[in-house]
């Protein structure tokens, strides 16, 4: 089971092993990199190194035989439990954004959007192809939300939401809707129009009190605390990459 405490993991912020860094830079294989390190042909920040366990950190200058080595950033996959009042963006003037909550030295991007007032699961990654497949509406990936309203919506209204409601001149796609209690329901969407659930609820004569995303495709938020993040497990990444036969 994945841990929810990112401090207990071995995050990429601790750097990349030197021999892997050299191999990722395309200069040689890992085994050859080890031989060259032993022979003193590698320098970090101007200092010759011969230790295999060293890690290259962001900002380090790595050279082999006097040639600068630049490795590509590793792919990063992060699940965040977004609190309210945080914007799902990399930059938004005067606002706190989701990337402010993730302490990593690599540039990562949120997949899709979650309203500032909404909470729950946000996926961030620097894997461009995966980002495209999960955010583009043509790929039909499910997103599941827990919604609380005032006043409560009756069975007729929930059926309307499931069948589709016209908002801003266009009918929403059919959805799966499951009553939870008197004023709450779960809804599973295959699309993500701007503030869609709030507008659907408003069209039924109610107001959203809480909107909380609990699932994206094969990823479940689970018990990850609000404001916390964790790396996806290799199994979760593998499942994501099987979507739409990546």
- What pTM was computed for the model? 0.72
CB 199 within 8 A of CB 182: no
Q: Quick: pLDDT tens for 82-117.
A: 999 999 988 888 899 999 999 887 778 899 889 999
Q: Is 140 part of the annotated catalytic residue set?
A: no
At residue 94, the 3 state secondary structure works out as: coil
Answer yes or no: are the C-beta atoms of 167 and 203 closer than 8 Å: yes
Name the CATH superfamily, with its identifier, for domain 12-69: RNA-binding S4 domain (3.10.290.10)
What pLDDT score was predicted for residue 14?
55
pLDDT value, residue 146: 98
- Cα(160)–Cα(141) distance, integer angstroms: 21
pLDDT value for 91: 80
The one catalytic residue in 60, 73, 100, 115 is 115
The pLDDT score that the predictor gives to residue 13 is 41
Q: What is the pLDDT of residues 145-166, one digit of tens each?
A: 999 999 999 999 999 999 999 9
Positions of the chain with pLDDT lower than 50, given as ranges = 1-13, 246
Question: Given 3.20.20.140, 3.30.70.1560, 3.100.10.20, 3.40.50.1820, which CATH number is that of 142-216?
Answer: 3.30.70.1560
Per-residue model confidence (pLDDT) at position 12: 41
Q: What are phi and psi of 99, to 5 degrees?
A: -70, -15
CATH among 3.40.50.1000, 3.40.630.30, 3.40.50.700, 3.30.70.580 for 74-136+230-246 = 3.30.70.580
């Amino acid at each position: 089971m994945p841990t929810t405490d990112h401090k207990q993991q071995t995050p990429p912020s601790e750097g990349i092993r030197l021999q892997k860094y050299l191999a990722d830079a395309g200069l040689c294989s890992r085994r050859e990199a080890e031989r060259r390190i032993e022979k003193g042909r590698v320098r970090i920040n101007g200092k010759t190194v011969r230790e295999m366990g060293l890690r290259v950190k962001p900002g380090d200058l790595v050279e082999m035989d006097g040639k600068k080595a630049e490795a590509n950033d590793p792919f990063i996959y992060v699940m965040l439990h977004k609190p309210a009042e945080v914007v799902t963006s990399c930059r938004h003037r005067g606002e706190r954004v989701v990337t402010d909550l993730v302490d990593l030295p690599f540039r990562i991007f949120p997949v899709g959007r979650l309203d500032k007032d909404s909470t729950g699961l946000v996926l961030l990654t620097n894997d461009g192809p995966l980002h495209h497949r999960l955010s583009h509406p043509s790929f039909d990936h499910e997103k599941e939300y827990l919604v609380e309203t005032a006043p409560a919506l009756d069975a007729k209204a929930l059926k309307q939401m499931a069948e589709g409601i016209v908002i801003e001149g266009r009918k929403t796609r059919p959805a799966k809707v499951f009553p939870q209690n008197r004023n709450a329901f779960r809804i599973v969407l295959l699309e993500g129009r701007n503030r869609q659930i709030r507008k659907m609820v408003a069209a039924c004569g109610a107001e959203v009190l809480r909107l909380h995303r609990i699932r994206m495709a094969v990823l479940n938020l689970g018990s990850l605390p609000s404001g916390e993040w964790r790396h996806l497990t290799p199994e979760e990444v593998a499942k994501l990459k099987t979507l739409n036969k990546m």
